[in-house]
Amino acid sequence: MNIFDGIPAELHEEQFDQIVTDGKVRIERIISKGHTTPSTHWYDQEQNEWVLILKGEAVLSFDSEPSITLKQGDYLNIPAHKKHRVDWTLPGSETVWLAIHY
């Protein structure tokens, strides 16, 4: 299997693909193409989340900190309950994320 297999040409909404889940750890591939989190929503997750941009770019915003731009190869650990959202992803090309929730 290849992480870039099965990426659809058209993405009407962000795509979340579960790769591995065992109850304590969840690994997923996320595909964005100009998708963002609604400005009225914050992710406030029960688990820590480590994200890696495999392809593309994104801007993550936080409730109480400056925004961070992530480019291909950049990674970030988001502690549990750290409110965040995706404010921008490349509109003309896929942004492929690897997310590990632990």
| Residue ranges with strand state E in the chain | 15-21, 26-32, 49-55, 57-62, 68-71, 75-78, 84-89, 95-101
Cβ count near 88 (within 10 Å)? 17
- Please tell me the pTM assigned to this model: 0.93
- The domain limits of the chain are 15-101
Mean pLDDT of 37-63: 97
The average confidence (pLDDT) of the chain is 97
- Supply the pLDDT for residue 12: 92
CATH assignment of 15-101, among 2.40.10.340, 2.30.30.30, 3.40.50.10260, 2.60.120.10: 2.60.120.10
Query: In the structure, what pLDDT confidence band is assigned to residue 37 with cuts at 50, 70 and 90?
Result: very high
Taking alpha carbons only, the member of 2, 46, 32, 48 closest to residue 97 is: 32
